Amino acid sequence: MSEDLDALLLRLRDLPDDRAVAEADAFFRSLPVEQAIALTESRPEQVGPLEGAPPELRYRANHLILVAAQQRLHTLVENRQATLAQRRRLVTLNEMLEPAGKRLDVDADGNRVEVDVPRQFLLVDPEGQGRMIEVQGDLRTAKNIAVLVPGMNNDLERVRAQSVRAKEIGEEAGRGTATIVWLGYHAPLGLTQGRSTESARAAAPLLCRFQEGLATVRSPGAKVTLIGNSYGAQVVTRAMMQGARAHRYLLTGSPGVDPSVTSAAQLTPPGTEFFAVARSRGDYVSYAEQHGPDPASFTDAVRIQTDNEQVQITGHMAYFAKNSESMKNVGRIVRGELGAVTLAARTTPAEETRMLGMSWAGPLRTLGQSPVVVPISKAFDGLAMLRTVASTPSRKTVLDGTPRSRQQEGPER
């Protein structure tokens, strides 16, 4: 059985995404349930990230990966051999192993009991800056699925805010929605790395294969919305150019797309139902156009409204603010109420940043593309690292927060 898996993984390396996912799917469909579970538990590192493998098996595999990493780091901390980064990582793994909630089940005697519902991960990479893909909801029954690709400064320690954001997107979109946080890439950490497109280029083929795998899992009528926020918009646009499969696409606060792209029509793959962008007033990241033209300025792009009477969005950080028109539009797009999406006026960066008769968008763009910004970025990154070190929890705090052992709860049938 293990040899068959090795042979499969070898074959998948050079196959196009659709064929690779189809072969993985067929392999696991051919196995009896007991054998598939046994293979998962003996080879979690291979099954956990495998696109095309059943999500239930991948959840189980990644839970095992989390537990093993947690126990290893706990031993290091207990023996006073852990680095500061390892102490921080242990706190993160403890949080990731906390149950997502409770559900009713039936025990061996037929009694209804409450059991923990573990969080659902399609990928867990606990090494280095870390990666993860988390699912909230049921991929097999959801009518609508939102895939959120976050931007820079998201490592395993800081991605928790994205899980909260995904939950809120699901609530805004309504019943029948599943959400996914796709941190399946090494996001840039700091302004220095964020000035490069290297991370986005490496991420794009990974996102393409993930989307292909998602197509084998979702119900036939389910619609998928791919959302790229900030640097995540750079990832999504590069994946779109490589044919990433989704029904709807939304870019918020984009730092720019590839310089060769001059229209939304160049980005959207065949079969696209809806493509939209959001740029709020004062979004310095979009104005800087660090990585190319801002898609919100394309004449054929649908630009969604971000403001309403309740909430006025300014700057770069509030596209998903509760009760904002921006967030309401996110919900409308995800659940397919495309006719209800409200549109923004076609204003230019110069018009949006005019103060005392002058605009600051142009000078910002010039500064962002100037060599002088390199030492400034490095200085900011150094200060951020000092803050991270200063916030590291004590050894006792870390040990007090680590359970001695944790078994997977939930269904095995």
Predicted pLDDT of residue 11: 95
What value does the mean pLDDT of the chain take?
Answer: 91
Q: What is the pLDDT of residues 112-148, one digit of tens each?
A: 988 888 999 999 999 999 999 999 999 999 999 999 9
pLDDT at 352 over 90: no
Instruction: Please report the sign of the dihedral spanned by the C-alpha atoms of residue 289, residue 294, residue 299, residue 303.
Output: negative
- Structure tokens belonging to residue 239: 């994946």
**Segment 92-121, tens digit of pLDDT:** 999 999 999 888 888 888 889 888 889 999
- Do residues 377 and 191 lie in contact, with contact meaning Cβ atoms separated by under 8 Å? yes
Note the helical H segments in 186-324: 191-194, 198-217, 231-241, 264-267, 284-288
Q: What residues form DSSP beta bridges with 228?
A: 149, 251
Residues 6+ apart with CB under 8 A from 104: 112, 113, 114, 115
pLDDT band at residue 378 under the 50/70/90 scheme = low
Residue 28, sorted as left (phi over 0), alpha (psi -120 to 50) or beta, turns out to be alpha
pLDDT tier for residue 389 given thresholds of 50, 70 and 90: low
When pLDDT is averaged across residues 208-229 and rounded to a whole number, the result is 97
Quickly state the pLDDT bin for 393 (edges 50, 70, 90).
confident
pLDDT at position 412, please? Answer: 29
d(CA 333, CA 337): 6
Contact in structure between 292 and 298 (CB atoms under 8 Å): no
191 near 381, Cβ under 8 Å?
A: yes
Half-sphere exposure of 129 (CA within 13 A, CB side): 15
**Whether pTM exceeds 0.85:** yes
At position 238, the amino acid (one-letter code) is R
Report the pLDDT value the prediction gives residue 109, as an integer from 0 to 100: 85
For 328, the 3-state DSSP assignment is helix
Q: How far, in Å, CA of 191 to CA of 380, rounded?
A: 7
Residue 103: the pLDDT is 87
Q: Measured between alpha carbons, how far is 288 from 409 in angstroms, rounded to an integer?
A: 48
Residue 69 has pLDDT above 70, yes or no: yes
Q: What is the pLDDT of residue 376?
A: 56
